[in-house]
Structures are given as C-alpha cells and as structure tokens.
A = this chain, B = another copy of it.
Amino acid sequence: MHKMYNTSVCSSMFSPNALQSIMSSCTLKNQRLRIGHRTKVPRNVNMEKLQHGYLFPEIQRHQLMHLEKYPHANVIDLGIGDTTEPLSTIVTSSMVDFVHGLSTEKGYKGYGPEQGEKALRKEIADTIYKDLGIKPSEVFVSDGAQCDISRLQLLMGPNLKIFVPDPSFPAYIDSSVIIGQAGEFVYETGKYKNIEYMTCGPQTNFFPDLHTASRADIIFFCSPNNPTGHAATRKQLEQLVDFAKENGSIIIFDSAYSAYITDDSPKSIFEISGAREVAIEVSSFSKFAGFTGVRLGWTVVPEELSYSNGFPVVHDFNRIMCTCFNGASNIAQAGGLACLSPEGLKAVQSHVDNYMDNARILVDALTSVGLKVYGGKNAPYAWVHFPGSNSWDVFAEILEKTHMITVPGSGFGPGGEEYIRISAFGQRDSIIEASERFQCLV
C-alpha cells in the first residue's frame, strides 16, 4: 500500500485540502463577525502561534466528514485511543455507594482537599509506588494527565526552554505554545523555534540521542511512549536522569500507559536512582482503569526537587493546585480508590490484558500484509511505517478504503511523518473486523 503515496515535503499536520477548508471557514466567520462591535483586547500572541486545531478534535472532524459522505459506513475507530470496556462492578459499586451517601446527612461531602482525598493519595503512594518511597504528601490527585500538563506549564511559566521527544503526545507542545515558551513556528521544519525536538525513531531505539542534545529546562518524556508504543528501558531512563542531573533540568515524566508494560521496563521514573531530585511524574486512571470519561489522574512532585534558588517545586505546585484547580470530583476519587484495592487491581489488570490481546491481533494483521510495525508490546498502540508517504494522506486513504479512523503520525510532530498510529482500544469483534479490513491494504 505505501507505494501508492507520493513523497511529500509538507511537514504540516494537515493536508492542503484540510488546511484550505479550515482557513476559509475562519475567514467567513471573521467577515461575518466584523460587522458588529469589536473589543480593543488584542488576541493573545501565544494563541495566534498555534498552528492548527488540537489533534484529536481534528480527527473527529474528519470522521464526521466521512460519515456525511458515507452515512451507512460502519466506521471502526482506531484513532483517539479511547477505552471501551465497561468498568468492573467493584469500581462502580463503590462509586454508587458514594453517590448514595451524597443524599444523606452523614455521607454528604462538600469541598475536599484541593490535593485530593488523603486516603487516595496514600493508596496511590502505597500501591502504584510501592517500595519507591513516594510520600502521600507528594501525590496530587487531579482530573487527568492532560490537565496536569497545562497546570505544570502554568507552574513553570513562559521563560523556559523545553525538550520534547519527536514524535510525542501533542499536548506537550501545544501547552508550551499557549504558555509562551515555544517561539515562532518555522514552516520549513514544522517545528517551533524555541522547542528542542529530539527524534525518537527506530534508528535510536526510540530514544533521543542525548549526545547531540542541547540543554533544556524541562524535558518532557513519556514511557511507554504515545504514539510509538516504546517503553524506555532501565538503561535509557538512567541515561535520561543522568542527563537531567548534569544539565540541571527537570523531567516531566508521563507514565499514563505504565500499566501496559509487559516486560521489565520501569513503570515509573522513580524506579531510577536520583530521579527524586530531577523528576515530576504525571499519570492517570484513564487508560489504566478506563476512566477516560470519569476523569481522574495524579502528579507526583518529590520534596527534593528544587529550583535553581533552592525553593522546593512542590510548594509552588501545591499553590497552583489550590488556586487554579479545586480538587477532582469526589465521586471519581471514590472510584479511583476502589481501583487500587486488591480486587479492583485484578479487574483493572484484566482490561489491560484484554487491550493488549487486541494489540497482538492488530500487530499480527498489519505485519501479515507486509507493513513494518513497532509498538504494541508494552503499549496499546501500533506504530506503523509507510516509508516515503505523507501520514495525512495515508490516514485519508485508510479511511476512504476501509472506513477506519487512525491517527496520522505527523500529528505527533514532524518525527511522526511516514507513520500511522493504530489504537488497540476497542471491543474484540471490532478489532477482529479491523484486522480483516487491513488485508485490503495489500
């Protein structure tokens, strides 16, 4: 199939058609609105620098357009990576009890601590970070990792240099643009001027070549990586911590997919000696426990982590959580606590295993049609190579030919060009159907 695509030097996230359609709709809208009153408030220059809509809503837009064209198509969504398995009754009955309680004098709860319920902070420290020495007071419960990334950007402010693996989860770069760290977008490279993009491809075992990397204040790092599915090895993470230490950088480590690791790759940056002095970890119940709609996550900020003036980062993050956030929903927190009970963990693990079985089915199918597939072993994402192709073109052709939604790799940065991310979240019958549809790509 990949031979069907022309090599393209376009590094934009959008096909020219999509870009044109977005631009003309903006122009129309502006023209219409220019008739009325206009404020004298200048548009935020940082917002102006954003190059396109946020990736996943954009993909959803394409899906809707496809459904308009083919109203009866049975579209299979291997795109956004949304959990599909019903929650275990162990988890829901715990939330049901909590909600029932809210209608009683004894069980009603108002504001909880902005940092999260004590019991949940302790359980995250004791269960997720067992034997890693994380204190409950270092755990901040939130409404999800993506929201915490923005709050971490608010914490850090506009004057820092950030380092992102390329490709990686788009929220790192987009939130950096919004806070004002990114500088100008350079169309020729598809990169923002002040952001250090470190290519993570098969040539470097999906890890940045740190020998060629210049210093950054903040190093975003996600393991298992979204989108490549690569889980960094212990040795790689040791190199990363050493690099951060030598450069005086702070690692923001995103472990949202750690539950999917099947080999002995570290599940937390805090498994690496010295990480407490250089790293923050962001994580989530979304993919771990199917809480994508329930909304629950957490961030760990170790006490030892300090700014150049010695001031502890955890104090400022606490202030951000108290001022810009007001605690995660107490119902979601009750559910999160149930997930971390021994029975809850078993139920959660069975969902993770199920999605990883899906991943194996998809990887086998993709491999059988001659495609080079990465990932799918420690993460529910297959990262499929279409050498010489433009990934938005591949996305469009897969959609047109098979009615399946995927994610174009360039949506995760210029390093994702020529790749497509395929999500293994889905019900088994859909996954089997998808693996059959891939046969027509031969």
| Segment at the interface with B among A190-198, A230-238, A304-312, A391-399 | A304-312
Q: Which of B110, B178, B294, B330 interacts with A102 by CB under 8 Å?
A: B294
Is A166 at the interface (CB under 8 A from chain B)? no
Which chain B residue lies CB-closest to A102?
B87
Query: In whole angstroms, how far apart are the Cα atoms of A104 and B315 in the complex?
Result: 42
Q: Is the CB of A37 within 8 A of B304?
A: yes
Which chain B residue lies CB-closest to A174?
B323
Is A254 at the interface (CB under 8 A from chain B)? no
Q: Copy number of this protein in the oligomer? A: 2
Task: Encode A76-88 as 1/0 by CB contact (under 8 A) with B.
Answer: 0000101111111
Q: Is the CB of A87 within 8 A of B110?
A: no
| Residues 138-180 (chain A) with a chain B CB within 8 angstroms | 143-144, 146-147, 150, 154-160, 171, 174-175, 178-180
Which chain B residue lies CB-closest to A177?
B323
Q: Give the interface residue-count category, chain A.
A: 35 or more
Known contacts A37-B277, A174-B323, A329-B331: A110-B82 contact under CB 8 Å: yes
Q: Is the CB of A307 within 8 A of B41?
A: yes
Contacts of A331 in B (CB 8 A): 95, 99, 294, 329, 331-332
Is A16 at the interface (CB under 8 A from chain B)? no
Is A368 at the interface (CB under 8 A from chain B)? no
Known contacts A158-B180, A180-B158: A39-B250 contact under CB 8 Å: yes
Minimum distance in angstroms from A104 CB to a CB of chain B: 5
Q: Is the CB of B319 within 8 A of A53?
A: yes
Is A281 at the interface (CB under 8 A from chain B)? no
Is A71 at the interface (CB under 8 A from chain B)? no
Given A41-B250, A43-B307, A95-B331, 12 more A-B residue pairs with CB atoms under 8 Å apart are A26-B315, A30-B310, A38-B307, A41-B307, A43-B308, A96-B96, A150-B325, A175-B323, A175-B324, A178-B320, A328-B329, A329-B329
Can you offer 18 A-B residue contacts whose CB atoms are under 8 A? Answer: A33-B303, A36-B304, A38-B248, A38-B306, A42-B308, A45-B157, A46-B157, A54-B322, A54-B323, A57-B114, A57-B322, A92-B102, A143-B328, A150-B323, A150-B325, A154-B179, A175-B324, A293-B329
The 3 closest A-B pairs by CB, nearest first: A40-B248, A44-B157, A150-B324
